[in-house]
Structure 1
Amino acid sequence: MHVTVLSTGGTIASSDDAAGAGAAPTKSGAELLDAVPGLDAYATADVEEVAQVPSFEIDRETLERVGDRVAALNADSDVDAVVVTHGTDTLEETGFYLDAALRPSTPVVLTGAQRMPDEVSPDGPANLLAAFRAAAAIHERDGSGVFVAFNESLHAARVATKAHTSKLETFASPGPGPVATLDHAGVQFHRPPRNEADHVPATDLGATVHVVASGSGVDADLFDAAVDDGAGGIVLQATGLGNTTTALGRAVERTAPDLPVVVASRSAAGRTVPVYGSVGGGEKLREYGALFAGDLPAHKARLKLQLALAADGVEPRDVFETFEAHGD
């Protein structure tokens, strides 16, 4: 099996500046592979340096560049799998983007680290080895899709989320759980490895979509500012089943007929469902024309809406839940 590694930076490639300027990516992808003995037992590999940034600085151009390379490698018959080394802060967004926009037939596994290579017991080498092991196991099963390999677990990119700021077991899959777990005996799959995100046939992230969060006493100032700024769409990070303050509900009422508004929940698990009939309640938001993100968190719903706005022949209501009648 042959793997192409796309290196983008992140903690897995970072070191702390001796002068106290803070940590930054310094190690190349080749150096990361050299630090992991035994990789050649699973695959041969080559490395491409796509970026060298912490993931919280990954911009539209960088994300699209990663997508372009994954698309090209997916079409290359000499490449059996792709491994992406990445910072953990936005790793789940890159994974979701690749899954939704590309639906690759070649296994794509993202990984990273919570500890830098120069810290005690760095986790990067183990996670990179897990990515290779998982990629080989998926390839052997003729599987496909985009995944996150971390701390001996394999997560589908659609549901993977960073659940803790610093613990090694940071990635979780609320709801379905991991696709597989890794141990000394091999890779144990809990469900078939496949693309789990809805396909939205576009890669362009040029549409401006703002996320506005609801909460106790939140007014509509940020929502209205996003509209006045010419946003192509808005994702509401609502509470519970998909409810907002009265002020935000009124903003949706005057906006949703002309601008796509997608309601996500700030809850860690479960899906948005329109139930409550007060002004900011989900049922009223549905009546006003809002769409619903299901179990996607706001940051993934934002990417999905950007793709929908760029896709030919696709309307946002085609890829988000509409709940045409209460209780459906």
Structure 2
Amino acid sequence: MLSATKLTKSFSDVHAVRTVSFTLEPGHIMALVGASGSGKSTLLNLLAGLADPDTGDVRLNGERIPGPSDVLVPGHPDIRLVHQEYQLMPNVTIRENIDYALRFFEKNYREFRVNELIKLCRLTDVQDRIPRHVSGGEKQRTAIARAIADKPAVLLLDEPFSHLDLPNRLIIRDLLFDLVRHENTSCLFVTHDATDALSIADTLGILRSGKLIQLAPPVDVYRRPATAYAARMTGVVNIIKAKHLSLFGLTEPENSDELICLRPEQLKLDEAGVKGTVQAVYFKGSHSEIDVTFSRYVSFRLLTTRDDVRINQQVGVSLTETALWRLKS
């Protein structure tokens, strides 16, 4: 079990990480989502023992993870961090890159383990190529294979999906599932895009300016975000003042300036609904997102599977559910 307790880290007057605490259970996937500059990479370095916290500590199974000021070689043998740049050896093959991580093991086991990892990470067809002759997704999978070669307890990933096209993103997503299932490895990754985090994480955290503002199962963070920032970081959302609920015939709450979170799927096209004008249509394949304006101050984005909606068309909109979520800020 990996635990962080009140971690803080500052660089001059920049507070990169501020009193962050959480626990990652064995065999679980945790995702931390935040905008650029929210402290994601700094936090990973603290967790991996590659940077010293100003206060707080990191523990693995109850034992404190030492930082660079405590050891000659920074890092921990049971924690692996995969950087965005992959850091592969450029002039040896994919297979040799993975094999190098097992160089202190007996030869027969090393060969068995490399074969196992190549199959697990879908690298069979490119194992004899050097890194510059493979795709970004294949480099990413090689870096992961090398990181888990000696079966660490914790795998940390820095923006694992940021440079990948959709097919490779899906392969990496499936790979993380397989790692947890077959290797019993705990996995924590940071990202600025919650799309993949929502689908594979057991626990989802929202980072803002170094502070962990929400930590819960993905469905709870999506449906009941703590703040407007958390709502926007986890997907498309309509954030309106409570006074505009009267548009749908709902009773206006006492605090008319209170913020309300409405996801696009909570609205639907309905001929009997409130009339508005379509301002934009974004085709997404399985559905379209459309922006509908009702007044100078009120505009909503909603989902539809209809393919006959056009810009400037008059449409009716109604709420599919009245369970509205009120935001703190």
- TM-score by length of structure 1 reads 0.27
Which has the higher relative contact order, 1 or 2, with Cα contacts under 8 A spaced 6 or more apart? 2
> TM-score under structure 2 normalisation?
0.27
Structure with max Cα Rg:
2
